[in-house]
Amino acid sequence: MAEAEGVCRRWDRDGSGTLDLEEFLRALRPPMSQAREAVIAAAFSKLDRSGDGVVTVDDLRGVYSCHAHPKVQSGEWTEEEVLRRFLDNFDSSEKDGQVTLAEFQDYYSGVSASMDTDEEFVAMMTSAWRL
Protein backbone atom coordinates (compact mmCIF):
# COMPACT_ATOMS: atom_id res chain seq x y z
CA MET A 1 0.00 0.00 0.00
CA ALA A 2 2.77 2.45 0.90
CA GLU A 3 4.54 1.68 -2.37
CA ALA A 4 1.37 2.43 -4.38
CA GLU A 5 0.91 5.69 -2.49
CA GLY A 6 4.51 6.66 -3.28
CA VAL A 7 3.96 6.02 -6.98
CA CYS A 8 0.74 8.04 -6.89
CA ARG A 9 2.50 10.97 -5.17
CA ARG A 10 5.34 10.90 -7.70
CA TRP A 11 3.01 10.88 -10.72
CA ASP A 12 0.36 13.22 -9.27
CA ARG A 13 1.40 16.40 -11.08
CA ASP A 14 -1.47 18.60 -9.89
CA GLY A 15 -1.22 17.58 -6.23
CA SER A 16 -4.84 16.41 -6.10
CA GLY A 17 -3.98 13.19 -4.28
CA THR A 18 -5.30 11.11 -7.18
CA LEU A 19 -4.05 10.16 -10.63
CA ASP A 20 -6.15 11.20 -13.56
CA LEU A 21 -5.81 9.56 -16.96
CA GLU A 22 -3.54 12.29 -18.33
CA GLU A 23 -1.13 11.97 -15.41
CA PHE A 24 -1.10 8.18 -15.73
CA LEU A 25 -0.43 8.26 -19.47
CA ARG A 26 2.28 10.90 -19.04
CA ALA A 27 4.03 8.68 -16.52
CA LEU A 28 4.06 5.80 -18.99
CA ARG A 29 5.69 7.78 -21.81
CA PRO A 30 9.11 6.52 -22.78
CA PRO A 31 12.03 8.91 -22.36
CA MET A 32 12.94 10.91 -25.45
CA SER A 33 16.25 10.52 -27.26
CA GLN A 34 18.80 13.33 -27.46
CA ALA A 35 17.89 13.87 -31.12
CA ARG A 36 14.25 14.45 -30.22
CA GLU A 37 15.10 16.72 -27.30
CA ALA A 38 17.47 18.74 -29.51
CA VAL A 39 14.89 19.38 -32.25
CA ILE A 40 12.29 20.36 -29.64
CA ALA A 41 14.78 22.82 -28.12
CA ALA A 42 15.50 24.24 -31.60
CA ALA A 43 11.78 24.80 -32.24
CA PHE A 44 11.37 26.43 -28.83
CA SER A 45 14.34 28.73 -29.48
CA LYS A 46 12.76 29.80 -32.76
CA LEU A 47 9.58 30.80 -30.90
CA ASP A 48 11.38 32.45 -27.97
CA ARG A 49 12.31 35.62 -29.84
CA SER A 50 13.22 37.51 -26.67
CA GLY A 51 15.55 34.70 -25.54
CA ASP A 52 14.26 34.84 -21.97
CA GLY A 53 13.32 31.15 -21.80
CA VAL A 54 9.57 31.81 -21.97
CA VAL A 55 7.39 32.05 -25.08
CA THR A 56 4.62 34.64 -24.86
CA VAL A 57 2.22 36.31 -27.28
CA ASP A 58 4.79 39.12 -27.59
CA ASP A 59 7.33 36.60 -28.91
CA LEU A 60 4.83 35.41 -31.51
CA ARG A 61 3.53 38.82 -32.56
CA GLY A 62 5.15 39.94 -35.76
CA VAL A 63 6.45 36.45 -36.49
CA TYR A 64 3.14 34.76 -37.18
CA SER A 65 0.35 36.48 -39.04
CA CYS A 66 -3.16 35.66 -37.90
CA HIS A 67 -5.10 38.06 -40.11
CA ALA A 68 -6.23 35.23 -42.41
CA HIS A 69 -7.50 33.05 -39.54
CA PRO A 70 -11.22 32.38 -40.13
CA LYS A 71 -12.23 33.61 -36.66
CA VAL A 72 -10.24 36.82 -37.11
CA GLN A 73 -11.84 37.29 -40.52
CA SER A 74 -15.31 36.83 -39.02
CA GLY A 75 -14.55 39.22 -36.14
CA GLU A 76 -15.12 36.50 -33.54
CA TRP A 77 -11.50 36.62 -32.29
CA THR A 78 -8.73 39.18 -32.34
CA GLU A 79 -5.27 38.31 -33.62
CA GLU A 80 -4.13 38.41 -29.99
CA GLU A 81 -6.72 35.74 -29.08
CA VAL A 82 -5.51 33.50 -31.91
CA LEU A 83 -1.93 33.76 -30.67
CA ARG A 84 -2.98 33.11 -27.07
CA ARG A 85 -5.02 30.06 -28.03
CA PHE A 86 -2.06 28.81 -30.06
CA LEU A 87 0.16 29.16 -26.98
CA ASP A 88 -2.45 27.45 -24.81
CA ASN A 89 -1.84 24.24 -26.79
CA PHE A 90 1.63 24.00 -25.27
CA ASP A 91 0.92 25.56 -21.87
CA SER A 92 0.36 23.56 -18.71
CA SER A 93 -3.11 23.17 -17.27
CA GLU A 94 -2.81 26.63 -15.66
CA LYS A 95 -2.81 28.46 -19.04
CA ASP A 96 -0.87 31.51 -17.88
CA GLY A 97 0.07 32.69 -21.38
CA GLN A 98 3.70 31.76 -20.83
CA VAL A 99 5.18 28.57 -22.22
CA THR A 100 8.45 27.33 -20.78
CA LEU A 101 10.81 24.89 -22.44
CA ALA A 102 9.68 22.25 -19.93
CA GLU A 103 6.02 22.75 -20.94
CA PHE A 104 6.95 22.66 -24.64
CA GLN A 105 8.94 19.46 -24.09
CA ASP A 106 6.07 17.94 -22.15
CA TYR A 107 3.68 18.63 -25.01
CA TYR A 108 6.03 17.11 -27.56
CA SER A 109 6.83 14.10 -25.40
CA GLY A 110 3.21 13.08 -25.96
CA VAL A 111 3.62 13.49 -29.71
CA SER A 112 6.96 11.69 -29.57
CA ALA A 113 5.43 8.65 -27.87
CA SER A 114 3.33 8.00 -30.96
CA MET A 115 6.25 8.13 -33.41
CA ASP A 116 8.45 5.07 -33.83
CA THR A 117 11.70 6.52 -35.11
CA ASP A 118 13.83 9.55 -34.33
CA GLU A 119 14.07 10.25 -38.05
CA GLU A 120 10.29 10.46 -38.37
CA PHE A 121 9.97 12.74 -35.34
CA VAL A 122 12.83 15.02 -36.39
CA ALA A 123 11.44 15.28 -39.94
CA MET A 124 8.00 16.19 -38.59
CA MET A 125 9.40 18.87 -36.27
CA THR A 126 11.73 20.26 -38.93
CA SER A 127 8.86 20.57 -41.36
CA ALA A 128 6.30 21.91 -38.89
CA TRP A 129 8.60 24.59 -37.47
CA ARG A 130 10.63 25.21 -40.65
CA LEU A 131 13.88 24.51 -38.90
pLDDT digits (tens, 9 = 90+) for 4-57: 666 666 666 666 766 666 766 666 667 889 999 999 999 999 999 999 999 999
User: Which CATH code, of 2.40.160.40, 3.40.50.10860, 1.10.3720.10, 1.10.238.10, is assigned to 32-129?
Assistant: 1.10.238.10
Alpha-carbon gap, residue 82 to 39, rounded angstroms: 25
Helix (H) or strand (E) holding 17: none
The pLDDT of residue 114: 87
The pLDDT of residue 64: 82
The pLDDT of residue 113: 86
Contact between 130 and 45 under an 8 Å Cβ cutoff? The reply is no
The answer on pLDDT for 130 being more than 80 is yes
Helix (H) or strand (E) holding 5: helix 2-11
Domain ranges in the chain with CATH number 1.10.238.10: 32-129
**Which alpha helices (H) appear in 12-130, and where do they start and end?**
21-28, 34-47, 57-60, 70-73, 79-88, 101-112, 118-129
SS in 3 state form for 96-120? Answer: CCCEEHHHHHHHHHHHHCCCCCHHH
Alpha-carbon gap, residue 110 to 100, rounded angstroms: 16
Per cent of the chain over pLDDT 70 is 81
The pLDDT of residue 56: 94
Task: Find the mean pLDDT for residues 91-120.
Answer: 90
Per cent of the chain over pLDDT 90 is 60
The answer on pLDDT for 3 being more than 80 is no
